[in-house]
Amino acid sequence: MNDFSSYKFEDFISSPSFYNYAKGLNPEDVRIWKEWVAKNPGNMNIAREARDFIAHLIPNRKFLPERFIDGEWSRLIEGLNIDGNKKVASGPAKGKIKIWHYAASIALFISLLGVLFTKTTLKQDEFLTDNVIVVPKGEIRKIILPDNTLVFLNSDTRLSYNSAFGEKFREVYLEGEAYFEVAHNADIPFIVQTLENEIKVIGTSFNVKAYPDEGIHQIALERGKIAVSDQNQKSYLLDPNQTYLLLRSNGSAKVFSTENIKDYSSWTEGKVIFRNRRFVDVARDFERTYNVVFDIQNKQILDNRYTGEFSRDDSILKILEIIKKTSYFEFKVEGDTIIIK
């Protein structure tokens, strides 16, 4: 792989390969860049910032709710001081352009990088909805939305919603993993938007795992009833103890019954549970939970499957010591990187 040690922020986000990595669109690009980041700690922070910028500010879904699109567009115009006297077009033409609002904003991001990254008064959150909650790796946060919906946010997760939330609509945008206990309101459905899906509920409890850099989107319903629609406008109805699984690589999705439905939300209780999961997938969760980076040099264990149940209070080193007893590998720690040999 080429040496990207001299790459700046704008170089990373302009790279198609890096974009695929940040969005989880190509498994090979994800693998290559994860390995590169692990081996280049000097550029790790700027690469992570570029990844988060792409993941959080440049959605790749076909359709976004119009209120999100208009909000993004207005904040972009205001933040870059582009002729404040001109207003965004409205009227009959507005309904025809939908996603093009967003396409134009992306074009402005790319063409005006020099302006964007030198304006110290302009923060990333200003490009998002009015209320943005970001949970860093290694942390979990519990919040109560204005409608009294309880939300647990897992590590490396971002939740955003408009200041008018709860008045005429209840809609949030999620990137990462969250557990919702939705306050009942038959007149105003609760909607969760992710990169791939729209989840509509009235009152229920469910877990959503929708990290942009992972190959799957997963929704597990504990109580109530939800409707999930995808980018192709296909809908799925979930009953309690059912799980929706989307494979991003080919866009296929299915709904299936799940015996241990609470395993999906066990992280809200400080548990770390994995059942028959590949080491490469378990390691990805560990990276978020413990705020570490894995450099897996022993490729033979990538597809090894493991089942285990631990407490979040258990150190990652203790967990690895236990896991390695079932298969041969060694590991060492260098800073916040764990090298698997």
For residue 223, pLDDT over 80 is answered with yes
Q: Which is it for the CA torsion 229, 230, 232, 236, positive or negative?
A: negative
Residues 124-143 have a mean pLDDT of 74
CA distances to 16, 117, 156, 159 from 122, rounded to whole Å, are: 25, 8, 22, 20
* 65: region left, alpha or beta (phi > 0 left; psi from -120 to 50 alpha): beta
Model confidence pLDDT, tens digit, residues 140-149 = 999 999 999 9
Nearest residue to 40 via CA among 72, 12, 62: 12
Model confidence pLDDT, tens digit, residues 178-219 = 999 999 888 899 999 988 889 998 778 999 999 988 888 899
Q: Which CATH class is domain 270-340?
A: alpha beta
Model confidence pLDDT, tens digit, residues 22-64 = 777 777 888 888 888 777 777 777 787 777 666 655 544 434 4
CB 226: neighbour CB atoms within 10 A?
26
The pLDDT assigned to 212 comes to: 84
For residue 85, pLDDT over 90 is answered with no
How would residue 2 be classed by pLDDT, with cut points 50, 70 and 90?
low
Tell if the pTM clears 0.85, that is, is over it.
no
For residue 108, pLDDT over 50 is answered with no
For residue 71, pLDDT over 80 is answered with no
Distance CA 87, CA 74 (A): 9
The pLDDT assigned to 3 comes to: 61
Residue appearing with tokens 């015996």: 259
Average pLDDT, the chain: 76
Long-range contacts of 63-67 (CB under 8 A, 24+ apart): 63/98, 63/99, 63/231, 64/99, 64/102, 64/193, 65/171, 65/191, 65/193, 66/98, 67/162, 67/169, 67/171
For residue 333, pLDDT over 80 is answered with yes
Q: List 171's β-bridge partners, or say none.
A: 191
Residues 255-283 have a mean pLDDT of 90
Concatenate the DSSP letters of all residues of 136-159 into one string: -TT--EEEE-TT--EEEE-SSEEE
Question: Radius of gyration of the chain from Cα atoms?
Answer: 21
The pLDDT assigned to 177 comes to: 96
Model confidence pLDDT, tens digit, residues 230-244 = 877 788 999 999 999
**pLDDT above 70 covers what percent of the chain?**
75
Residues 10-18 have a mean pLDDT of 78
Residue 321 corresponds to which tokens in the numbers above? 């010591």
The pLDDT assigned to 308 comes to: 85
Model confidence pLDDT, tens digit, residues 248-266 = 888 888 898 988 899 999 9
Q: Which CATH class is domain 131-263?
A: mainly beta
Q: Which is it for the CA torsion 291, 57, 174, 167, positive or negative?
A: positive
- CA contacts within 13 A on the Cβ side of 12: 25
Delimit the domains of the chain by residue range.
Answer: 9-57, 66-127, 131-263, 270-340
